[in-house]
Amino acid sequence: MTMTDDPHGIDLNDPDRILEIAKANVDPDEVVHAVKDNADALFTWDYGKGQRAALDKLYEKAKRSQWNGTTDLPWETEVDLDAFEPVSDPLETEYFFDHENSPLKGMNEAQRHEVDLESFKWSLSQFMHGEQGALLCTAKIVETVPWIDAKYYAATQVVDEARHVEVFARYTHEKLGGPYPINPHLRLLLDDIINDSRWDMTYLGMQIMVEGLALAAFGFMHGMTNEPLLKQLLRYVMSDEARHVAFGVLSLQEVYDGFTAAEIRERQEFAFDAALRMRDRFMRQEVWQNLGVDEYDMVKHMLDMPWELKAFQRLLFAKIVPNCRKLGLLDAGDGWLRDRFTDIGVIEFEHHEDTSEEYIDFDITENPVEAA
């Protein structure tokens, strides 16, 4: 199922390649991280609102669907970490703790609990950092997109993302005892997206890839967790995120229609590089370092996981693959991206629902959240 030789000339399943990137971790004392933004800020003198009807509809929807992270969530909820129930995939849990080759085999209940808890803290920390990436990227889109309807919509997304950073930061600091630093694979991906001079690449990297994965991950965690504050927080965030991914799909369709084969190929490669960085970040090296587990052995064990047990890892691509299909990126040229998504075992999602209309189902004003 999984091919290890990629036309890029890299071995997709080489633990050393993944750990090499992990060494480029952030300076633990760094408070501000600067990234060069190479894009032009564009004014438009065409103020005609509603020329792009789908984007205009999304903008009007976003204005009606705002919520307040300070007052709409039950922050008084006590989160008891000792009684914390794991929110991981049961198949993965069994493979981690009981498989004969696992570095975690033989752990007692307390040690298992620690792995589950640290993995949970790590996941929510990466959500928080990813949300800040979204905040910066959408502020950039306000500047760089040439259409007034998209600037209006993106401005609402900036507010959404500020709220998401705020609630994940509050949750990790108040309820989990503080976050993990950003994962290097995620940081490099966010740096690349912000660094790129082409405005449509911000959309592809952030709105389609990072947000598509986040929407799937939030949905998984929302379904698994029994913690009422987190459950409600995720439900509210998902209401916004579904709009965000729709924004990416609706905007890029128009742009890609006018692209040459060579330009599309660059987008295919960018999408795959982003997918690989996101898959690799889920190896969560920081957790293994923190717990004193051998990172190489653990990353290798995770890469060796049989395809049928990787339900959660595959699920993360459940939104990305159909959205890439809708944009024509899967089969453009010689089907390069289809082959790559086949290599990493996620092509099965191509016919799932794309997110250009799905945001209506997620919307909290259309489908209100039941009181906690």
Is 164 an interacting residue with respect to Fe ion (CB under 5 A)?
yes
Helix, strand or coil for residue 79?
coil
Q: Give least dist CB 298 to Fe ion, A.
A: 29
Q: 345: closest CA among 288, 287, 306? A: 306
Is 163 an interacting residue with respect to Fe ion (CB under 5 A)?
no
The whole-angstrom separation of Cα 270 and Cα 136 is 19
Q: Give least dist CB 12 to Fe ion, A.
A: 28
Is 244 an interacting residue with respect to Fe ion (CB under 5 A)?
yes
Is the Cβ of residue 12 or residue 128 nearer to Fe ion in the bound state? 128
Q: Is residue 245 a contact partner of residue 357, using CB atoms and an 8 Å limit?
A: no
Is the Cβ of residue 241 or residue 273 nearer to Fe ion in the bound state? 241
Phi/psi for 181 (5° steps) reads -65, 170
Q: Give least dist CB 138 to Fe ion, A.
A: 7
Other beta carbons within 10 angstroms of residue 35's beta carbon come to: 13
Q: Give least dist CB 238 to Fe ion, A.
A: 9
Is 134 an interacting residue with respect to Fe ion (CB under 5 A)?
yes
Q: Give least dist CB 214 to Fe ion, A.
A: 7
Is the Cβ of residue 244 or residue 300 nearer to Fe ion in the bound state? 244
Cα 229–Cα 235–Cα 241 angle in degrees, nearest 5: 135
Is the Cβ of residue 12 or residue 234 nearer to Fe ion in the bound state? 234
Number of residues that bind Fe ion (CB under 5 A): 7
Is the Cβ of residue 161 or residue 227 nearer to Fe ion in the bound state? 161
Q: Is residue 184 a contact partner of residue 25, using CB atoms and an 8 Å limit?
A: yes
Q: Give least dist CB 247 to Fe ion, A.
A: 9
Q: 237: closest CA among 257, 216, 258, 255? A: 216
Contact set for Fe ion, span 267-326 (CB under 5 A):
none
Is the Cβ of residue 217 or residue 298 nearer to Fe ion in the bound state? 217
Q: 15: closest CA among 340, 278, 280? A: 280
| CA-to-CA dists, residue 372 to 143, 219, 228, 317, 319, angstroms | 39, 18, 6, 30, 28
Q: Which stretch binds Fe ion (CB under 5 A): 16-24, 66-74, 93-101, 159-167?
A: 159-167
Q: Is residue 312 a contact partner of residue 345, using CB atoms and an 8 Å limit?
A: no
Beta bridge partners, 11, equal 5
Is 148 an interacting residue with respect to Fe ion (CB under 5 A)?
no
Q: Give least dist CB 219 to Fe ion, A.
A: 13
Q: Give least dist CB 18 to Fe ion, A.
A: 26
| CA-to-CA dists, residue 206 to 148, 173, 196, angstroms | 20, 25, 12
| CA-to-CA dists, residue 50 to 31, 246, 363, angstroms | 41, 17, 22
Site string for Fe ion, 187-216 (x = CB under 5 A): ------------------------x-----
Q: Which stretch binds Fe ion (CB under 5 A): 98-106, 121-129, 134-142, 345-353?
A: 134-142
Contact set for Fe ion, span 20-59 (CB under 5 A):
none
Q: Which stretch binds Fe ion (CB under 5 A): 71-79, 129-137, 220-228, 335-343?
A: 129-137
Contacts of 198 (CB under 8 A, 6+ apart): 39
Is 73 an interacting residue with respect to Fe ion (CB under 5 A)?
no
Is 340 an interacting residue with respect to Fe ion (CB under 5 A)?
no
The whole-angstrom separation of Cα 80 and Cα 105 is 26
Beta bridge partners, 195, equal none
Interface positions with Fe ion (CB under 5 A): 131, 134, 161, 164, 211, 241, 244
